């Protein structure tokens, strides 16, 4: 998906939801001007703004390898299906548990 397709998808979702620019701004925490700019074909929103817009429109952003979902030459009816495994956000491992040693050393 290129930038234009992404913006067109967001605009279509906005239109289908019936939300105004002001409502999207309120839901996303962005200014109305930022929403208008991001949803214009000349817009180039920052990642944080894009994620806020996606969330405000009730969508989620997913990444897939290029070409994922395209038909293959051998079986034109085959299209792989995206599945979810685990958590979408990598998390840092938990720190080791804190242990105390209440024993006193003898001098």
Q: What percent of the chain has pLDDT over 70?
A: 64
Task: State the distance between the two ends of the chain, measured CA to CA, in whole angstroms.
Answer: 70
Q: Give the per-residue pLDDT at 91.
A: 47
Q: Mean pLDDT across the chain, nearest whole number? A: 79
Region of residue 85 (phi > 0: left; psi between -120 and 50: alpha; otherwise: beta): beta
Alpha helices in 18-60 (DSSP H): 21-28, 32-38, 47-56
pLDDT tens digits, 64-99: 887 776 665 666 666 666 655 544 444 445 555 665
Q: Round to whole Å and give the CA distance between 8 and 4.
A: 6
- Regarding pTM above 0.95, the answer is no
Contacts of 106 (CB under 8 A, 6+ apart): none
More confident residue, 22 or 92: 22
């Amino acid at each position: 998906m290129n930038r234009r397709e992404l913006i067109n998808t967001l605009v279509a979702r906005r239109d289908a939801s019936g939300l105004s620019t002001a409502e999207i701004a309120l839901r996303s925490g962005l200014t109305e001007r930022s929403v208008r700019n991001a949803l214009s074909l000349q817009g180039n929103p920052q990642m944080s703004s894009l994620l806020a817009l996606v969330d405000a429109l009730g969508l989620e952003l997913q990444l897939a390898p290029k070409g994922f979902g395209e038909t293959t030459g051998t079986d034109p009816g085959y299209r792989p299906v995206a599945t979810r495994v685990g958590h979408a956000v990598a998390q840092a491992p938990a720190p080791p548990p804190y242990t105390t040693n209440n024993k006193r050393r003898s001098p």
